[in-house]
Structure 1
């Protein structure tokens, strides 16, 4: 069976019929829910976050965002039919029609966190001669870095075609300024393997960021209470959890597809 991204552009492939078929499938609902829950588990977000759902489709992942932690969310997708299906289902989030390959069109520092389920692999596909995957990836991650507040987190579950696509995605995220890495669940099973790109935009007190003339002022450092967990200890603890639950490949390491342990 051909991969959807090699069949037609997403706004064409996910027409009215395909959108309703996709959304009504109990199998798809289960898979989307499990991957969204896994992404939230990896992010370890506090409740009541303002979250952007990239490639939100008909709102299946958004429903999980609402149920888990009473989060407020905005969903963006390139398919009008998918968004129309989401409206018919009366999902809780606000919906925005946009192509992620043209960038994330929100004001700098808008979101506490971002998730994307089964979407960013489309950036690696050139639907027209003018669509350069490398440039689309760069625009996406550069604008995403700006849209997330300092210290904000990102989880992108995706299906790469090959190791080259994975390396291109990791390189674009690193070039944009993100830190983080790749968690691979079910690495021993090609059929059930899941890739999660887990990123952070930095820490409180990082340098200003700019996008199209918009500047986010530097935030003041947060003073820790005596005896509170330090940032270094927190990062070490999260690394240990992530290593136990999935293989971690750091952004500053070359992805080869071979089994190995790589430091974050």
Structure 2
């Protein structure tokens, strides 16, 4: 597991021009991103009334997941910390609005303006202290707190994450709950070696349910990492 990208360098360093272009040109990555984004959109459970929604794609990268949102008729805002990734998104002329920013410092959007949020393989990066000023608990608190505020009442956020261990898993879930989120965990295609971990996760999370208008679904897809 030593080659997990979040253990090699901060995201804005790891996804430089070369890595961002390689990532976006991989047919395997494109296929995986499309499938995960479709699944996230399905779990958002948006009303089937034909009205386009304004969605937030957190860790949007070069816009691969955003393309799925566009294809399904929605408008979207993409947030990413890698300028190289966003440059390629601009080259590809994606239809979303792109923001350069660190989600660990909070999301600077007006309260209640977002109808739903997705994030593919991004949130676990907040569990690492890449700088001396980084404290994972505080960064997760800033992220989930600001996300909760910018979501419209009753909106959902769907994350696909791959925590390194149980401690990271629990840190992410606790941070979401403390921000006011409630919801559940969906496990897709777990590998045989991961089943005990996910069984414990489901049992532990069910006792943390709270009543609130926004619901957080954390989607775990154990395919290693993108």
Q: Is TM > 0.5 for Structure 1 vs Structure 2?
A: yes
Report the equivalent of 1:232.
none
TM-superposed deviation, 1:250: 3.1
**Aligned residues, how many?**
200
1:97 to 87, 96, 100: 100
Report the equivalent of 2:44.
43
2 CA distance for matches of 1:189 and 1:84?
A: 38
2 CA distance for matches of 1:123 and 1:184?
A: 21
Report the equivalent of 2:126.
123
TM-score, with length taken from structure 2:
0.84
TM-superposed deviation, 1:42: 1.5
Report the equivalent of 1:7.
8
Report the equivalent of 1:215.
none
TM-score, with length taken from structure 1:
0.72
* 1:164-243 correspondence runs (5 A): 164-190=167-193
1:140 to 138, 143, 149: 143
Higher relative contact order (CA 8 A, sep 6+): 2
2 CA distance for matches of 1:123 and 1:189?
A: 27
Structure with greater Cα Rg: 1
2:86 to 63, 83, 88: 83
1 CA distance for matches of 2:86 and 2:176?
A: 27
Match status 1:60 vs 2:64 = yes
2 CA distance for matches of 1:8 and 1:78?
A: 13
The structure carrying a bigger helix percent of its residues is 2
Let me know the Cα RMSD of the aligned residues: 1.9
- Please list the CA deviations of residues 112-162 of structure 1 after superposition, one character each: whole Å capped at 9, or x if unmatched: 000000000000010012100000000000000001011111001111001
Unaligned runs of 5+ in 2: 210-226
